[in-house]
Amino acid sequence: MRAVCDRTARIGRDAILALVTLRNERVRLPYFLQYYRQMGIDHFLIVDNGSDDGSREYLAAQDDVSLWSTNASYRRARFGMDWITRLQRLHCHGHWCLTVDVDEFFIYPFCDTRPIRALTDWLDVCAIRSFSAMLLDMYPKGPLGAQTYREGQDPFEIAQWFDSGNYMIRRNAEDGNLWIQGGPRARLFFPDDPKRAPALNKIPLVRWHRDYAYLSSTHMLLPRGLNNVFDEWGGEKACGVLLHAKFLDSFAVKADEEMLRRQHYGNSREYRAYHEGLSREPDLWCKWSEKYLNWRQLEILGLMSKGNWA
């Protein structure tokens, strides 16, 4: 991994950071950066894994981005986590860090009226170090290819829908975290093999310490206490959601490509399932799909919670 442009000297003492690994996401980048800048992210630390679509050049030109580049194997770098962990150790100690993918959009309570610093300040006051946000798969109505995503566009103008109440949760005794599966991917791509349905539990926002590490993607952390983002006595802790803009027209292309690259988790089993599913031109939408409005809707549906933040 080598630095393409290292602007980390500009990171202020209280800066809130975002960490991203990506490959060939040029069309998504403008909206992604705009979304998180508006939320109050001060600096982006990005690892580019061999893009050849202009992503690297675009990112290098952004003032609030520090960019590294590598052509090494995504899979052998623990699906990019090794790269991220290194950047976190070097640059994130003491900072609030949001680790996301380019297609993940963080939603937290009051995100329409309060910047992310209001949240992190509150978490500091409450001595909370980690904040969970479940991945919520968003999808359009009709075949994925029917609407084309344009650069700069809000992806949720297209992928407006989600599954509101089919999530399966169990406790992972070993690491003390919850394992959440479900949503349209389980419903459509894994109805006969639910065990293989992708995990949706994520803990993307952490007040970083150089001794911390993500274990498997952002699903789990060490030390284990950081996974303790849920209440066991009936109460609700504050938490958010990562809106997942995976299912756009570009998805079919991506699924084909990843099938060949085999760089994803479980030998790209997931992509294989999509690939097979996609060749049937599926519509992820069903009549019980919920149309996205705002965070309050997600709160009422029980997908996230304000906890005691008021």
Partner 1 sequence: MGVGFIMLCHTAFDRAAQVARHWAERGCPVVIHVDARVHRHGFARMQRLVAGVPGIRFSDRHRCQWGSWGLVAATLSAAEVMLRDFPQVNHVYLASGSCLPLRPVPELVRYLADRPRTDFIESVTTEDVGWTVGGLDIERFTLRFPFSWRRNRKLFDASVRLQRRLGYSRRIPDGLVPHLGSQWWCLTRQTLQAILEDPRRAEFDRYFRSVWIPDESYFQTLVRLHSHHVESRSLTLSKFDFQGKPHLFYDDHLQLLRRSDCFVARKIWPQAGRLYRSFLSDKLAEKSPAEPNPARIDRLFSKATERRTRGRAGLYMQSRFPRDDWDHGRTAAPYSVFAGFSDLFENFEPWLGKLVGTRVHGHLFAPDRAQFAGGETVYDGALSDSAALRDYNPRSFLTNLIWNTRGERQCFQFGPADVQDILPFIAADPHAQVSVVSGAWAVPLYRSGGDFTTIRREAARLQKLETWYLSVLRAGWAKARVRVWTMADFVADPMEPMQTIIDEITPRALRRPAEAPRLVDLTGFGRFLQQLRNQGMQPVLMGDFPLEDEPLAPPRRARPAGTK
State the minimum distance, in angstroms, from the CB of residue 163 to partner 1. 4
Total residues at interface with partner 1 (CB under 8 A): 60
Instruction: Please identify, among the stretches 49-57, 58-66, 227-235, 255-263, the one whose residues bind partner 1 according to the rule CB under 8 A.
Output: 227-235
Cross-strand pairs, 47:
21, 68
Q: Two tokens at 229?
A: 């983002």
Cross-strand pairs, 205:
98, 131
Q: For partner 1, which residue of 24, 132, 217, 268 counts as binding (CB under 8 A)?
A: 132
Q: For partner 1, which residue of 47, 87, 226, 239 counts as binding (CB under 8 A)?
A: 239
State the minimum distance, in angstroms, from the CB of residue 134 to partner 1. 5
From residue 32, give the alpha-carbon distance in Å to each of 8, 36, 100, 163, 204: 20, 6, 11, 23, 16
Cβ–Cβ under 8 Å, residues 96 and 43: no
Could you say which DSSP state residue 281 is in? -
Q: For partner 1, which residue of 118, 213, 215, 259 counts as binding (CB under 8 A)?
A: 118
Based on C-alpha coordinates, what's the Rg of the chain?
A: 18
Q: What are phi and psi of 125, to 5 degrees?
A: -60, -40
State the minimum distance, in angstroms, from the CB of residue 220 to partner 1. 13
Amino acid at 296: R
Q: Under DSSP, is residue 107 helix (H, G, I), strand (E, B) or coil?
A: strand
Cross-strand pairs, 178:
171
Q: For partner 1, which residue of 14, 53, 57, 231 counts as binding (CB under 8 A)?
A: 231
State the minimum distance, in angstroms, from the CB of residue 14 to partner 1. 11
Is 302 an interacting residue with respect to partner 1 (CB under 8 A)?
Answer: yes
* Number of CB atoms found within 10 A of residue 13's CB: 6
Q: By C-beta, is 238 or 245 nearer to partner 1?
A: 238
Q: Sign of torsion, CA 3 245 131 265? A: negative
Q: By C-beta, is 66 or 132 nearer to partner 1?
A: 132
Is 175 an interacting residue with respect to partner 1 (CB under 8 A)?
Answer: no
Per-residue contact flags (x/-) with partner 1 for residues 142 to 161, judged by CB under 8 A:
--------------------
Site for partner 1 in 282-301 (CB under 8 A): 286-290
Q: By C-beta, is 110 or 265 nearer to partner 1?
A: 110
Is 86 an interacting residue with respect to partner 1 (CB under 8 A)?
Answer: no
Q: For partner 1, which residue of 46, 178, 206, 221 counts as binding (CB under 8 A)?
A: 178
State the minimum distance, in angstroms, from the CB of residue 297 to partner 1. 13
Query: Could you tell me the maximum CA-CA distance found in the chain, to the nearest angstrom?
Result: 51
Cβ–Cβ under 8 Å, residues 98 and 18: yes
Instruction: Please identify, among the stretches 47-55, 60-68, 122-130, 256-264, the one whose residues bind partner 1 according to the rule CB under 8 A.
Output: 122-130
- Distant-in-sequence, close-in-space partners of 42: CB < 8 Å, separation ≥ 6: 11, 12, 15, 16, 17, 64
Q: For partner 1, which residue of 235, 266, 291, 293 counts as binding (CB under 8 A)?
A: 235
Torsion angle in degrees (nearest 10) through CA of 115, 219, 74, 11: 30
* Number of CB atoms found within 10 A of residue 152's CB: 11
Is 225 an interacting residue with respect to partner 1 (CB under 8 A)?
Answer: no
Q: Which residues bind partner 1 (CB under 8 A)?
A: 110, 113-115, 117-118, 121-122, 125-126, 132-134, 163-171, 178, 180, 182, 184, 186-187, 190-195, 201, 229-239, 286-290, 302-310
